[in-house]
């Protein structure tokens, strides 16, 4: 079975259990913390995937990271994953948990790249567009500024991308000019 499917099943299990026990937000915060730690320190990901390290050592690392303020259910989940020697997929579980949490809360994450910081009026217009595309109630807009776009924007929602940047339009125009439209009549 692929890691994605396994991670998805683990994430679904912990999400449903957290909902049942009424601790969804706390467990969500723990998985966000795990993702943030892994993003800022790649050694954690390497350690979790390292087959030389024993499961006990990996569990001790996780318990040390989550010693203060962690939800007991999250720690129990880490122990279960450790007993099954599946620590390597723990970061995938965290990513999948975030996706399933967003789906449960009807949150659509969209990625917006512009050449400048947008104001509130533009932000609300982009959120309206994303709501229209996705059909979900809430929009979480991840904004990025990239001056290489020259102008315009790139909006990514799920697997759809709306590229209205000047750099892409110039690239398309350049490709059209490279094609030889002249045919000799000789």
pLDDT at position 69 is 87
Query: Are both 48 and 129 inside the same structural domain?
Result: no
What is the tens place of the pLDDT at every residue in 51-75?
A: 999 999 999 999 999 988 899 999 9
Domain assignment of residue 149, given as a range: 107-178
Query: Are both 95 and 150 inside the same structural domain?
Result: no
User: Does the pLDDT of residue 129 top 70, yes or no?
Assistant: yes
Confidence of residue 175 (pLDDT cuts 50, 70, 90): confident
User: Does the pLDDT of residue 180 top 80, yes or no?
Assistant: no
Give me the helices (H) in 3-138, please: 3-21, 24-40, 42-49, 55-65, 72-83, 90-104, 120-134
Q: What's the mean pLDDT when you consider all of the chain?
A: 92
Query: Are both 17 and 86 inside the same structural domain?
Result: yes
Final residue of a structural domain among 103, 121, 153:
103
- The whole-angstrom separation of Cα 122 and Cα 95 is 29
User: Does the pLDDT of residue 132 top 70, yes or no?
Assistant: yes
pLDDT at position 71 is 95
pLDDT at position 62 is 94
pLDDT at position 185 is 63
| Tokens coding 119 | 């104001």
Calculate mean pLDDT across residues 112-130: 94
Specify the pTM. Answer: 0.81
Q: How far apart are the first and last CA of the chain?
A: 62
Does residue 127 sit within a domain?
A: yes
Structural domain total, the chain: 2
Query: Are both 136 and 150 inside the same structural domain?
Result: yes
């Amino acid at each position: 079975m692929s890691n994605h499917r396994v991670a998805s099943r683990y994430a679904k299990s912990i999400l449903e259990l957290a909902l049942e026990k009424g601790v969804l937000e706390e467990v969500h915060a723990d998985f966000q913390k795990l993702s943030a730690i892994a993003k800022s320190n790649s050694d954690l990901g390497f350690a979790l995937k390292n087959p030389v390290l024993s499961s006990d050592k990996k569990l001790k690392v996780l318990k040390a990271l989550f010693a203060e303020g962690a939800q007991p259910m999250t720690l129990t989940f880490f122990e279960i994953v450790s007993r099954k020697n599946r620590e390597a997929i723990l970061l995938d579980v965290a990513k999948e948990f975030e996706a399933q949490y967003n789906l449960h809360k009807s949150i659509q994450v969209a990625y917006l790249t512009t050449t400048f910081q947008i104001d509130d009026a533009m932000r609300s217009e982009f959120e309206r567009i994303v709501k229209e595309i996705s059909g979900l109630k809430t929009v979480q807009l991840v904004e990025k500024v990239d001056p290489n776009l020259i102008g315009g924007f790139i909006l990514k929602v799920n697997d759809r991308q709306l590229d209205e940047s000047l750099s892409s339009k110039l690239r398309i125009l350049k490709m059209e000019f490279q094609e030889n439209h002249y045919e000799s009549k000789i």
